[in-house]
Amino acid sequence: MTRHTHRIAIAPSGFKESLSAARVAEAIAAGVRRVIPDAELDLIPLVDGGEGTAEALALAGGGRLVPCTATGPVGDPVSSHFALLGGPGPLTAVVEMAAVAGLALVPPDRRHPGATTTYGVGELIRAALDAGARRILVGCGDSGTSDGGAGALQALGARLTDRHGREIRPGGGSLHELEHIDPAGLDPRLADADLLVACNPYNVLCGKRGVARVFGPQKGATPAEVELLSAGLERLAAVLTRDLAPAFAPSAGAPVDLRTAPGTGASGGLGAGLAAVGARLLPRYDVLLDGLDLDARLARADFVITAEGALDHQTVRGKIPAEVARRAQAAGIPVLVLAGTIGPGAQDVRAVGVDAYSAILPAPMTLGEAIGRSSEFLADATERAMRIMALGTRLASGAPVTPVAA
């Protein structure tokens, strides 16, 4: 009788400020091999537009990273990059907003989203245009900003002024002072470029689920600052719609509602700011998973393991484990999620196709230790989960329960 070879697809996201998606996949694979040494593993590291997106797409598309220096989220120069992809058609660039305006670039004692800026994102877009790119994909995720893309627009040449005609200060905290946007100085190459924004469609700019209210506290905003940011983004949407969006209105169809359209709240409202200059806001997985043949690879597996840093109520709102589970469920493939932490609402993931989930950390510890040993903890957690599964399989089959060799 031929013994079945276990086929396991490993399709995780990266762990923010810790491990890239590729390193997460490798750690999980190491844990699986401790229990099933001959398993057939398909490593499919996934990105969501945040940290590591430019590098991952460059590797997948035969491209390269282009290093550059740009303005970071607190106004200081930072070492950053964008990617130029290979392949036919117009030269495509990938601008990863997290590489220049991400939360990881904001020192803990300066995490004040009322002051952080997306100016560097606009600088990277201009650098990509200088490199000859005519198709620019902007990956949204892991942002440390809440300025509605105002900084990016300023870097691209727009003037955002108050009622006295003075340029407003950087950051979302000054948006309530915005009176006028002058598009005369915008880089003319934008008109001929195809600007695509890969974003989470659940994120909207304004309203009860507006980006300042949902993510502002995570970026360091107090309750009072959240309300100030929300009011500023409302003001920005109104002025963008009046002064800027008409010049870049789509040739067909209704214009984008910059307050509530899907994706307008991406990366602290960067989606709305770029949509006002003609960018198309696209569901991120429709763009970022193109070329991976993910559905077919999941369908070939007996079992799928995915992972993320935190599993909670936000996971079902467009995070990688939920997307993987949704696709695997369609093919009837069971899914395990490994997570650094498990928070309120984690159980909601069962409704989208997750069969089981497990925490990674073995004991309470400092954040620094958890980050420094994350690869080790992830491999160990995978091994524990696989041994529990092996035990369950024996119980279900009625076979004698014997320990798996360590």
Q: What is the pLDDT of residue 372?
A: 85
Q: Partners of 93 in the beta sheet?
A: 84, 136
Q: Are strands 7-10 and 40-43 parallel, antiparallel or unpaired?
A: parallel
Count of CB atoms situated within 10 Å of the CB of 32: 22
Q: Average pLDDT in the 19-36 region?
A: 94
Cβ pair 236, 148 in contact under 8 A: yes
Q: What is the pLDDT of residue 56?
A: 86
Cβ pair 286, 159 in contact under 8 A: no
Least confident of 84-88, 177-181, 239-243, 346-350: 84-88
Q: What is the pLDDT of residue 62?
A: 84
pTM confidence score = 0.84
At residue 79 the predicted structure's pLDDT band, cuts being 50, 70 and 90, is very high
Tell me the per-residue pLDDT of 170-210, one tens digit each, with 9 for 90 and over: 999 999 999 999 999 999 999 999 999 999 999 999 999 99
**How far from 13 is each of 17, 24, 137, 144, CA to CA, in Å?**
12, 7, 19, 19
Mean pLDDT, rounded, of the chain: 91
Q: Average pLDDT in the 321-347 region?
A: 94
Q: Report d(CA 277, CA 188) in Å as an integer.
A: 11
User: How do the residues of the chain divide into helix, strand and coil, expressed in percent and rounded to 5?
Assistant: 40, 20, 40
Q: What is the pLDDT of residue 249?
A: 64
The residue ranges of DSSP E strands in 72-131, in sequence order, are 77-84, 92-96
Class level of CATH domain 53-287: alpha beta
Q: Return the C-alpha torsion angle 236, 103, 49, 193, nearest 10.
A: 50
Q: Average pLDDT in the 36-54 region?
A: 92
Which sequence spans correspond to the domains of the chain?
7-46+301-397, 53-287
Fold match between domain 7-46+301-397 and domain 53-287: no
Q: Are strands 194-199 and 180-182 parallel, antiparallel or unpaired?
A: unpaired
Among candidate residues 269, 152, 145, the one with its CA nearest the CA of residue 207: 269
Topology of domain 7-46+301-397, per CATH? Answer: Rossmann fold (3.40.50)
Tell me the per-residue pLDDT of 342-364, one tens digit each, with 9 for 90 and over: 999 999 999 999 999 999 988 88
